[in-house]
Structure 1
Amino acid sequence: MHPDLAIERNFPLVSLNTFGIDARAQYYVRVESLADLRAALADPALAALPRLLLGGGSNIVLTGDYAGLVLHMATRGIAATAGDAGTTYVRAAAGESWHGLVEWTLARGLGGLENLALIPGTVGAAPIQNIGAYGVEMRDYFHSLRVFDCASGATFEMDAGACRFGYRDSIFKHADGQGLVIVDVTFALPAQWRANLRYAELAQALAEQGGAAPTPRQVADTVIAIRRRKLPDPAVVGNAGSFFKNPVVSRAQCQALLQTYPTLVHHAQPDGSEKLAAGWLIDQCGWKGKSLGPAGVYPKQALVLVNNGGASGADISRLAQAIQQDVQARYGVLLAPEPVFV
């Protein structure tokens, strides 16, 4: 083992995953610098092990103890530089809190990320999932990111095209991106900011507040209030936020469903497809507020699965599968989980 690397054995992960699942890592390294990462992967004993990159643990379901090496990305640092035409480039280390980054930009009068306030997790995890909320996706303000290639040991920049962003998707969720570790991410924030109020609930909440055009701070505060009202705090109730992706179906399939279910919640997409509301589908199947053992569906939002106390990864998986089966049986639509099962 590398003499300068702090390597922990049988390390508890219960506080490092937002579901609060009690699992342990065979080996654990807290990565606070690129040098730490290089050292861990240069160590022959560690490099040969299965490897799990862990940020805020907000998008994983631990199905048991991890027989391998957990690399906990805990790098820090945020900096801003001026770009062309008044654009501000903000680069943040992968281990920074995502919401902390949003607050950092707001404190400096920079708009763009406010609709994504209070999303749990780290900066490095945001591109992997292409996080999104209230009418905005991370890729809307993404500029580039820097990765470490575990195979070659090289670091290099990737732009949006190379990252292949999609709906809750990116290259990092596919085979050709598995060996790439995100080191830091740069965002391009506009000089001429305009509030994105495409999401009806957000627009209505801001309209009810009255006053002039909202500021980025006001938009963020409203988003935070909505999220706190609808979603459980992972520090109180274990959860991973929205558990299922909103399924995308063809227009023909959507029209056929509307014949039987005229109140079906759907949103037309630019390519002619239709995005259905997964939470509505789950709610209509009667799962909101119900439990299956120690795992349950949050009473205020059917899209959120929760750990009611002592739930294992198997408990969460059992509940998710039961919901998937019910939705598919009634609507002919298969829901895909957002979190990764490990």
Structure 2
Amino acid sequence: MQTDISLKTLTTFGIAQQARYYTAVSNLSELLEALDFARQRQMPYFLLGGGSNILFTRDFPGLIIHMAIGGIQAQPEAEGQVLVRAGAGENWHQFVCWCLERGYYGLENLSLIPGTVGASPMQNIGAYGVEVKDHFAYLEALEVHTGEVHRFDAEACAFGYRESVFKKALKGRYIILEVAFQLHTQPKLRMDYGDIAATVEQLAAGAPPSPELVAQAVIQIRQSKLPDPAQIGNAGSFFKNPIVPEEQYHRLALRHPNMPHYPAAGGIKIPAGWLIEQAGFKGLTKGQVGVHARQALVLVNYGDARGEEVLALSEEIMQVVQERFGILLEREVNIL
């Protein structure tokens, strides 16, 4: 157990807040001990994975529990299926690469997404036409109150767009320990989203498309659009892409005929980055914070920003977008 630890290097935003206590846990026993430590002292605790989806706006007065439960196992099944299980603390991108190297396909479109395996079902991460729910088998999670481990299938997780039961109804009640994915040994490529097909064709140089080329394309596209947290502090996409009713979309389309849009469950999805750019924020800098010049969906820390400054900029963006388009953006990043 460590005390008064800086969170600057433990989060991708690089905000220099501190935690009163900090510990890393690599198995269930250590996790239970950490929870007991916090319980005995009646202090709050927070589970930290890759630190890529969190913004600390103040020092944390309790215990930061860094999830480091690792391990990957694969179990071949019938008809070209394979069940791959991974500890919640495994790095997500490294896990995707591990699967690709062994010919287990399905997650290649999710390459280079920051964070850990355990966080992936919590917010149903997705990119380029694929979401975690598309290849999810089950997860095992610790019920904090009872100390019992429960298994959740896809239905029990109640997946939605960047949502799951663990972000709402069961928030704070369970800690994800392990996630299992149903993958394929035969490629089933998804290249119909964004620039994937064109980038794969360019990379292939006449060779047939493959999951490995799809992964390379995704990595190249993401690196061209998104800043590297090692170079400039950020948490990736700060806002969710809003889904609006069809009637609202049609009214907006009359005034903005070039507005990009995509069909989605419950209505029409409009890219939040486009809304933010149209509102005049793309490339904006305010002191040590700003909106990235290549991707308006990304808020950045240019060096020594405080969490409150990032939060204030996000609130200003939300206000202006709502005034101009009648759409209230929702943050994807967790605020503490």
Aligned equivalent of 1:223: 218
Which TM-score applies when normalising by structure 1? 0.95
2:307 is the counterpart of 1:313:
yes
Question: Identical aligned pairs, as a percentage?
Answer: 47
Query: Counterparts of 1:295 and 1:317 in 2: how far apart (Å)?
Result: 10
Aligned equivalent of 1:52: 46
Aligned equivalent of 2:235: 240
1:163-312 matches, within 5 Å, as: 163-209=157-203, 210-271=205-266, 273-312=267-306
2:112 is the counterpart of 1:118:
yes
Unaligned runs of 5+ in 1: 1-6
- Partner-residue secondary structure (3-state), 2:139: strand
Which TM-score applies when normalising by structure 2? 0.97
2:25 is the counterpart of 1:28:
no
Aligned equivalent of 1:4: none
- Partner-residue secondary structure (3-state), 2:222: helix
Amino acid aligned to 2:216: D
Aligned equivalent of 2:33: 39
- Partner-residue secondary structure (3-state), 1:115: helix
Deviations 1:238-272 (A, max 9, x none): 0000111000000000000011111111112254x
- Partner-residue secondary structure (3-state), 1:14: coil
2:131 is the counterpart of 1:131:
no
1:16 to 4, 10, 21: 10
Give the superposed CA RMSD. 1.3
Query: Counterparts of 2:39 and 2:88 in 1: how far apart (Å)?
Result: 25
- After TM superposition, give the deviation of residue 86 of structure 1 in Å: 2.2
- After TM superposition, give the deviation of residue 208 of structure 1 in Å: 3.2
- Are the equivalent residues in 1 in contact too, given 2:141–2:176 (CA < 8 A)? yes
After TM superposition, what 4+ stretches of structure 1 lie above 3 angstroms from structure 2?
Answer: 43-47
Q: Taking structure 1 as reference, are residues 47 and 212 closer, same or farther at Cα in structure 2, changes over 3 Å only?
A: farther
- Partner-residue secondary structure (3-state), 1:218: helix
Deviations 1:254-303 (A, max 9, x none): 000011111111112254x1000100011111111101221100001111
Aligned length in residues: 335
- Partner-residue secondary structure (3-state), 1:84: coil
- Are the equivalent residues in 2 in contact too, given 1:124–1:184 (CA < 8 A)? yes
Query: Counterparts of 1:43 and 1:234 in 2: how far apart (Å)?
Result: 32
Q: Taking structure 1 as reference, are residues 86 and 21 closer, same or farther at Cα in structure 2, changes over 3 Å only?
A: same
Deviations 1:156-191 (A, max 9, x none): 211011111100001111142321000010000023
- After TM superposition, give the deviation of residue 212 of structure 1 in Å: 4.1
Query: Counterparts of 1:47 and 1:30 in 2: how far apart (Å)?
Result: 18
Query: Counterparts of 2:41 and 2:143 in 1: how far apart (Å)?
Result: 13
- Are the equivalent residues in 2 in contact too, given 1:130–1:137 (CA < 8 A)? yes
Q: Taking structure 1 as reference, are residues 68 and 299 closer, same or farther at Cα in structure 2, changes over 3 Å only?
A: same
- After TM superposition, give the deviation of residue 13 of structure 1 in Å: 1.0
Unaligned runs of 5+ in 2: none
- Are the equivalent residues in 2 in contact too, given 1:40–1:46 (CA < 8 A)? no
- After TM superposition, give the deviation of residue 47 of structure 1 in Å: 6.2
Query: Counterparts of 1:156 and 1:167 in 2: how far apart (Å)?
Result: 24
- Are the equivalent residues in 1 in contact too, given 2:187–2:210 (CA < 8 A)? no
Query: Counterparts of 1:26 and 1:109 in 2: how far apart (Å)?
Result: 44
Q: Taking structure 1 as reference, are residues 84 and 27 closer, same or farther at Cα in structure 2, changes over 3 Å only?
A: same
Deviations 1:205-226 (A, max 9, x none): 1233442431111110111011
1:103 to 97, 103, 122: 97
- After TM superposition, give the deviation of residue 66 of structure 1 in Å: 0.3
Amino acid aligned to 2:24: R
Q: Taking structure 1 as reference, are residues 127 and 270 closer, same or farther at Cα in structure 2, changes over 3 Å only?
A: closer
2:81 to 80, 84, 87: 87
Aligned equivalent of 1:161: 155
2:137 to 132, 143, 157: 143
